[in-house]
Chains A and B, each alone.
Chain A
Amino acid sequence: KAGVTQTPRYLIKTRGQQVTLSCSPISGHRSVSWYQQTPGQGLQFLFEYFSETQRNKGNFPGRFSGRQFSNSRSEMNVSTLELGDSALYLCASSPTSSGSTDTQYFGPGTRLTVL
């Protein structure tokens, strides 16, 4: 079974631009979560999607948004990029939603650099 895939793997953007990252979950998995990893703050939860609905959200500004499609693929968008948004963005999938206790399996991440 293929793992979680994320595209692109690397991105370079400039301040003020916007960016869209994509995540395809493991086949059959319906829940997708996003995390931001930075040297200073570590790994922080962004949001979770299940059945095309955001089920849970971390403490991030509204510039960070996401969506999920009917095939469970998910995208996250960051608008008006700031230097501090430079990070590794990790996507994780699990079979069901936040009410379950399923293990999350992570993709390789998208490394975003904001200049």
Chain B
Amino acid sequence: AQKVTQAQTEISVVEKEDVTLDCVYETRDTTYYLFWYKQPPSGELVFLIRRNSFDEQNEISGRYSWNFQKSTSSFNFTITASQVVDSAVYFCALSGINSGYSTLTFGKGTMLLVSP
């Protein structure tokens, strides 16, 4: 069975601070995909990034960066110079070949509160 653990339930930071959201996963699949989604108060899940299990290169997109480490089964997400608009719940998710790639297993989410 697949499992995604986001140990941080809630994080509060002040604007311009850097913040890292942790994600640890478990899977027996050799081929799998990892995702991060953002859920603002409106409720819609907004896609942020997807990585496959064969690509451990870190990725940077503006103020966002992701660190994928297969050795520790982690896929952490860092927001640099956080802004109030970053306040949302962030979900890490996993899909694999055995469960069907369209079946996402989500973590419980981390609520990020960025205050001015």
* Contact B44 A55, beta carbon cutoff 8 Å: no
Inter-chain contacts of A108 with B (CB < 8 A): 42-44
Known: A55-B100, A98-B102. A103 touches B108 (CB 8 A): no
A residues near B104, Cβ cutoff 8 Å: 33, 35, 43, 45, 104
How many B residues touch A, CB cutoff 8 Å? Answer: 24
Closest CB of chain B to A21's CB: distance in Å?
14
Number of interface residues of A (CB under 8 A): 29
Chain B residue with Cβ nearest A106: B45
Q: Judging by beta carbons under 8 Å apart, are A103 and B44 in contact?
A: no
- Quote the shortest CB–CB distance from A15 to chain B (angstroms): 24
Query: Which B38-76 residues have C-beta < 8 A from chain A?
Result: 42-47, 50, 52
When distances are taken between beta carbons in the complex, the residues of chain B under 8 Å from A66 are none
Q: Which of B44, B52, B102, B108 contacts A104 (CB 8 A)?
A: B102
How many whole Å from A7's CB to the nearest CB in chain B?
Answer: 14
With most chain A CB atoms within 10 A of its CB, the pick from B33, B44, B109 is: B44
Within 8 Å by CB of A48, from B47, B91, B100, B106, lies B100
A88 at the B interface (CB under 8 A): yes
Any chain B CB within 8 A of the CB of A101?
A: yes
Cβ–Cβ contact A55 & B43, under 8 A = no
B100 nearest CB neighbor, chain A only: A98
A45, B42: Cα distance in complex, Å: 20
Q: Do A101 and B42 have beta carbons less than 8 Å apart?
A: no
Chain B: CB-nearest residue to A99? B101
A-B contact list, 29 entries, CB within 8 Å: A31-B102, A33-B102, A35-B104, A42-B108, A43-B93, A43-B109, A45-B104, A45-B105, A48-B100, A48-B102, A56-B100, A58-B103, A88-B43, A90-B43, A90-B45, A97-B102, A98-B101, A98-B102, A98-B103, A101-B52, A101-B95, A102-B101, A106-B37, A106-B45, A106-B47, A107-B44, A108-B42, A109-B43, A109-B44
Name 15 extra pairs, CB < 8 A, besides A42-B107, A99-B101, A109-B44: A31-B102, A33-B103, A35-B104, A43-B104, A43-B106, A44-B106, A56-B102, A58-B103, A94-B102, A98-B100, A98-B103, A101-B33, A104-B47, A106-B47, A109-B43
